[in-house]
């Protein structure tokens, strides 16, 4: 699979499934190195591991430390926002998140604050008022570290927009990942010039999703897997556009050479890319992949922009164009 280079901006590699744990039950040995090898072989050059709680962000950073191509975020997911108050001392919780983000950023490993935001589809895990309070609190983290934001928005576009509006000068840039909203929601997000949209299998389930995705300007889009979640299933409108597949087995029949059925992996970023390319009708896959890569570097790897520009210049010089 030569030629295409990708960055998976969101993979939950600290999830138990990559250690063989499903609902607390050990189904197979941990297989992180096989999962990562498949990703690198598929053209994924970097993976940003999503942190969803203080504890999980610590694990994400520990994992990111194991490979030069792994990075992570530090933050608290909207459905996990009760942890601020359950900790008994929200201000201390904040200080611990800040210390972790600063420690990781100094090593070049923590590249964003998040994921954070609002999820009104899953209020049973955390009420809207608590979600709003601690979404807003995480702009303090972004401001204190200068890091961009990795954002989550489900069925909450109006409140989300209002909170971003209030805080828009406190963060450099961000990506609203796993976008599944309507076109109206999309326009609300795009009204902030420093917000990008992250697309994964969940963003491409229905023909309506595909139509909305087509309205994202290429300069504002990134791709991700949200592994082990949000895989593309045969029943999705997107599935007919997939070109690359891997052998897969049920978790009970696991072997290291196969994907696990219903466990999404970073290598499958390639499938997200194939669907987007087909639906937007872009035949030049190299330049479309480069476009997503550059958008990602602009937001999450700003130090690499110069290096990237030099590579592009060197390539075009050697091509004589």
Q: Which residue is nearest to Zn ion (CB)?
A: 152
Q: Between 178 and 296, whose beta carbon lies closer to Zn ion? A: 178
Q: Between 53 and 254, whose beta carbon lies closer to Zn ion? A: 53
Smallest distance from Zn ion to CB 129, Å: 20
> What region, left, alpha or beta, does residue 20 occupy, with left being phi > 0 and alpha being psi -120 to 50 degrees?
left
Q: Between 145 and 200, whose beta carbon lies closer to Zn ion? A: 200
Q: Between 28 and 154, whose beta carbon lies closer to Zn ion? A: 154
- Considering only residues 155 to 214 of the shown chain, the ones binding Zn ion according to CB under 5 A are 178
User: From CA 167, how far away is CA 158, in angstroms rounded?
Assistant: 14
User: For residue 44, which phi and psi values (nearest 5 degrees)?
Assistant: -75, 120
User: For residue 308, which phi and psi values (nearest 5 degrees)?
Assistant: -65, -45
303 annotated binding-site participant: no
Nearest residue to 101 via CA among 47, 138, 153: 138
Nearest residue to 146 via CA among 118, 173, 108: 173
The answer for residues whose C-beta is within 8 angstroms of residue 124's C-beta and 6 or more apart is none
Smallest distance from Zn ion to CB 287, Å: 28
Please write down the HEC assignment for all residues of 77-132: CHHHCHHHHHCCCHHHHHHHHHHHHHHHHHCCCEEEEEEEEEEHHHCCCCCHHHHH
Contact pattern from residue 227 through residue 256 relative to Zn ion, giving x for each residue in contact according to CB under 5 A and a dash for the rest: ------------------------------
77 annotated binding-site participant: no
For Zn ion (CB under 5 A), the number of binding residues is 2
Contact pattern from residue 100 through residue 139 relative to Zn ion, giving x for each residue in contact according to CB under 5 A and a dash for the rest: ----------------------------------------
129 annotated binding-site participant: no
Q: Between 43 and 148, whose beta carbon lies closer to Zn ion? A: 148
- Considering only residues 45 to 74 of the shown chain, the ones binding Zn ion according to CB under 5 A are none
Q: Between 178 and 271, whose beta carbon lies closer to Zn ion? A: 178
Contact pattern from residue 144 through residue 163 relative to Zn ion, giving x for each residue in contact according to CB under 5 A and a dash for the rest: --------x-----------
Determine, following the binding rule CB under 5 A, whether residue 80 of this chain makes contact with Zn ion.
no
177 annotated binding-site participant: yes
Crossing angle of the two packed helices 269-280 and 207-214, in degrees rounded to 10:
70
Local structure of 260: helix, strand or coil: strand
Q: Does the bond joining 183 to the residue before it have cis omega, within 30 degrees of 0?
A: no
Q: Which residues bind Zn ion (CB under 5 A)?
A: 152, 178
Specify binding-site residues for a divalent metal cation: 115, 152, 177, 226
């Amino acid at each position: 699979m030569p030629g295409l280079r990708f960055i998976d901006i969101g993979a939950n590699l600290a999830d138990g499934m990559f250690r063989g744990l499903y609902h607390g039950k050990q189904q197979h040995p941990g297989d992180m190195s096989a999962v990562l090898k498949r990703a690198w072989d598929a053209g994924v050059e970097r993976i940003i591991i999503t942190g969803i709680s203080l504890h999980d962000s610590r694990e994400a950073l520990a994992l990111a430390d194991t490979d030069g191509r792994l990075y992570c975020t530090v933050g608290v997911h909207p459905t996990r926002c009760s942890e601020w108050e359950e900790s008994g001392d929200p201000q201390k919780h904040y200080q611990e998140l800040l210390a972790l983000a600063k420690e990781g950023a100094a090593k070049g490993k923590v590249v964003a604050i998040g994921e954070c935001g609002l999820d009104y589809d899953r209020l049973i895990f955390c009420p809207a008022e608590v979600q709003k309070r601690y979404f807003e609190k995480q702009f303090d983290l972004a401001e204190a570290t200068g890091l961009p934001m990795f954002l989550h928005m489900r069925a909450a576009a109006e409140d989300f927009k209002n909170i971003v509006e209030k805080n828009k000068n406190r963060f450099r840039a961000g990506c609203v990942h796993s976008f599944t909203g309507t076109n109206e929601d999309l326009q609300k997000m795009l009204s902030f010039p420093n917000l990008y949209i992250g697309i994964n299998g969940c963003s491409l389930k229905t023909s309506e999703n595909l139509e909305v995705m087509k309205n994202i300007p290429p300069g504002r889009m990134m791709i991700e897997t949200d592994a082990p979640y949000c895989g593309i299933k045969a029943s999705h409108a997107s599935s007919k556009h997939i070109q690359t597949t891997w052998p897969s087995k049920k978790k009970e029949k696991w072997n290291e050479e196969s994907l696990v059925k219903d466990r999404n992996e970073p290598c499958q970023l390639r499938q997200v890319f194939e669907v987007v390319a087909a639906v937007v009708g872009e035949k030049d896959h190299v330049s479309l992949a480069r476009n997503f890569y550059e958008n990602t570097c602009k937001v999450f790897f700003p130090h690499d922009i110069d290096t990237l520009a030099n590579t592009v210049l060197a390539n075009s010089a050697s091509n004589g164009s």
